[in-house]
Structure 1
Amino acid sequence: MYSINAATKVANINGKGLTYRIIGEGDPIILCQRFRGNLDDWDPLFLDLLAENYQVIIFNYSGMASSTGPLNTDMKTFSQDVIDLADYLAIDRFVLGGWSFGGFIAQVVAVNYPARVKQLILIGTKPPGQVNHAMEEIFLKTAYIENYTVEDEMILFFEPISESSRQAAKESHDRIAARTEKDVRVKPEHWQYYGSGSEDFTKDAINARQKLMETTIPILVLSGDHEVCFPPENWFDLNRKMPTLQTVVFPRAGHGPQHQHPEMATSYIHTFLANTIQ
């Protein structure tokens, strides 16, 4: 798998050094990472399958993991990392994706810089503002364990009651572990900064929820039917309100459907991107 050996590069921008990797060629897709995630925490098979048709770009937020610079404290500064990296790479318009917390950032970028975002891919995340369906307590308890086991990953990202999902968790874990040149982990003392960003997203001072109801940017949401963090029902509440929204729900799947079903997830993404060009 090409992504396992992809070189880690540094974009030095305005006092911060954003570490990033590029896999594949074609139209660019920038992916925003989840809570605590670093460059290694994307499933390599998911990235490689996307890279068969696109130039896939993953990165670390300022000050997180191997990136240097000031830590972000709100959605504005987190989302600025995306624009800064795109500018550094001389990418004018791009497909933007985000997983979990990264989905918050992707949505904020889309409403603040609509001319830059061609299409939006949101995985295991929620819409801006207040939502009606909360995360499960077991997610909060497990998400703050410093060193995950495979069993913890099954709770966080898969569906523990499903034998096939548990097996997929082991396979995804092994694919991620296969990389020999490891990225730096996000320090526990930095986890609080995701909370600041999440609070900002929920308060929705920039009225992102309403702007997404008026957007022309095509939006694809991928979710599991047992999403312990951000239930897909929050997106169902926006049916017929968000005009460009498409939601795909994977059965017997959790918070990381792209890791459980990398082939199917990338197939949905490719079909969506090929058929929703603005």
Structure 2
Amino acid sequence: MSIVLDHQTALSAPNQFVKVGDRRIAYRRFGSGPDLVLCVRFRGTMDVWDPLFLDLLAENFTVTIFDYRGLGGSTGKASYAKADMAQDVDDLVTALGIEKLIIAGWSLGGFAAQVFAATRPEKVSHVLAIGTMPPGLMSKSFEKLFFETAWMREYGTREEYILFFEPDSARSRALADQSLARIAARSVVHDDPTDPQVFIDSVEANTDPSTPFPDPDGAYQAFYRSTDIPVLALSGDHDIIFPVENWYALNDQWPTLFVVTFPDSGHGPQHQYPALAADIIKSFVQNS
């Protein structure tokens, strides 16, 4: 069991590791309160989270971030298979002795979070789905611009605007600049870099042409139509890869689903509105 130090922050928390068979999982852990584990987005490692968002969460939760197998500081064969990402979560929380947790995921990490909850419901108190989509076919599809940008080997500020914010909004771009500056402020503890092609190859190997989040036998949808686990979806009003309309379509189908839409924002609403997002998450967990 790792020791959680309340004074550690997202920028100062050390890289730690747990051994799982012949591989290791890299993680950082800080804060105090109920356990909240966050699954990162496509092409993300621990370093891509906005530290302000994490620190605000850590005021009320013990926050754990980590790298999937073969990515960042974790070893093994890289995989974006939904079951593998969920297994990474299970391996990590088991090694840390966490018996009950709030599971959260951003973008592709939202798939991992939802699969983890659906396959290990006894370990989950709440699900946070951030800038992601529910399982099954899409009610509203993605925009080609996302893949044209996300598949670039390297990208800068302009691409960050496109991928995670609202590039046509001066306000969104200004808030994006603030978030990117906070992320760049990490000066002591860094994650291990991963070649962009590894990310791309990993997701392409697990791509289904019908939908980004396949549910071929309907098992995931069936679970969320009957579960008593509260689910909170946080989305921007113009998410070019996972439109919020996919959550609206479930308003009368998932009995525990809460949907929050952030205006003038895109695929990373928690980075554009870190304080509001953290406050909503706190209230959701405490009151649902």
TM-score, normalising length from structure 2? 0.92
Q: Please report how far the alpha carbon of residue 70 of structure 1 lies from its aligned counterpart in structure 2 after TM superposition.
A: 2.5
Cα distance in 2 between the residues matched to 1:185 and 1:71: 13
Number of the residue aligned with 2:213: 202
Number of the residue aligned with 1:190: 198
**Structural RMSD (CA):** 1.5
Q: Please report how far the alpha carbon of residue 201 of structure 1 lies from its aligned counterpart in structure 2 after TM superposition.
A: 6.2
Number of the residue aligned with 1:49: 56
**Unmatched runs of 5 consecutive residues or more in structure 1:** none
The answer to whether the 8 A contact 1:23-1:47 is kept is no
Cα distance in 1 between the residues matched to 2:224 and 2:204: 23
The answer to whether the 8 A contact 1:224-1:256 is kept is yes
Number of the residue aligned with 1:70: 77
Number of the residue aligned with 1:156: 163
Which range is displaced more, 188-197 or 250-259? 188-197
The answer to whether the 8 A contact 1:75-1:201 is kept is no
Could you give the per-residue CA deviations for residues 68-121 of structure 1, whole angstroms, max 9, x where no partner exists? Answer: 113236222221000000000000010000000000010001110010010000
Task: Describe the shift of the 1:31–1:198 C-alpha distance in structure 2 as closer, same or farther (beyond 3 A).
Answer: farther
Alignment map for 1:213-232 (pairs within 5 Å): 213-232=225-244
Q: Please report how far the alpha carbon of residue 161 of structure 1 lies from its aligned counterpart in structure 2 after TM superposition.
A: 1.6
Match of 1:123 among 112, 118, 130: 130
Q: Please report how far the alpha carbon of residue 185 of structure 1 lies from its aligned counterpart in structure 2 after TM superposition.
A: 2.7
Letter aligned with residue 225 of structure 1:
D
Q: Please report how far the alpha carbon of residue 195 of structure 1 lies from its aligned counterpart in structure 2 after TM superposition.
A: 3.4
The answer to whether the 8 A contact 2:51-2:182 is kept is yes
Residue 251 of structure 2 aligns to a residue in which SS? Answer: coil
Number of the residue aligned with 1:112: 119
Cα distance in 2 between the residues matched to 1:175 and 1:273: 26
Residues 1:5 and 2:17 aligned together: no
**Unmatched runs of 5 consecutive residues or more in structure 2:** 1-7
Residue 10 of structure 2 aligns to a residue in which SS? Answer: helix
Cα distance in 2 between the residues matched to 1:153 and 1:187: 18
